[in-house]
Amino acid sequence: MRLITTITSLITEQAALGDVVDAIKSRKVMIIYYDGDEPGGRGLREIEPVCLGTSKAGNKILRAWDREGSSHTDFLKQQPLPGWRLFRLDKILTIKPSGEIYNEPRPNYNFDGDRTMASVIVNAKFDGVLTIDDIIATELTQITTQILTQLISDIVKRRGVDGLTGSDFTKSAEFFNRLYKNIATKINRVLSVEDKTKIKNEAVKIVSQIQNKLKEDATKKK
């Protein structure tokens, strides 16, 4: 493992706030020595730090993608690595850049911060990466219209116009599955439950406004 090769060259540095802020802003992969819970949690880790904030208890905390290394929950087989972890800053005993930069958000990354934090100091930004809010603001109406038009057309082909009788696409699992798949492909990541809820709330409003007109248009074509 690359992590093991860094042990002999690791320079001891206290995890100063400025170091962590710089790592997040520059998207630096970091090697840390963390005083975590035992068994298994104390030792070196290779992390991608993405969000620094304050906990509800007033502690400075760091959200990071933990690539490899010591992990209490991994040791207990509760949360295997790699995966998301939350670190208390005062328990990060040493910190050093690995020399690598991470450029892609990991699955379920929250572009708007971290809901477990009372306040956020800094959150990683990814150049050219579309966010859910970007999609909702600029493309959701067009995407929704295209997908709903195609779904209605598919229904008419399979079952005729009678297949549209009584249909309410604000409650259509097929529609939302297509919508989520389209957006996930567009932003190149897996959608979180929070992402889907945010998309659905806005898409329902759009579908409510356009579905009757689209159904009428499909009926006229037949």
pLDDT at 40: 54
Distance of CA 71 to the CA centre of its chain: 22
**pLDDT score of 120:** 92
Q: How far apart are the first and last CA of the chain?
A: 63
Beta strands 42-54; 60-69: pairing state: antiparallel
Q: Note the pLDDT of residue 14.
A: 45
> What confidence score (pLDDT) does residue 78 get?
63
Residues contacting residue 23 through CB under 8 Å, at least 6 positions apart: 30, 49, 95, 97
What CA–CA distances, in Å, run from 138 to 141, 145, 146, 183? 8, 13, 14, 12
Domain boundaries, the chain: 2-123, 132-221
In the chain, which stretches have pLDDT less than 50? 4-14
pLDDT in tens, 138-189: 999 999 999 999 999 999 999 998 899 999 999 999 999 999 999 988 877 6
C-beta separation of 138 from 200 below 8 A: no
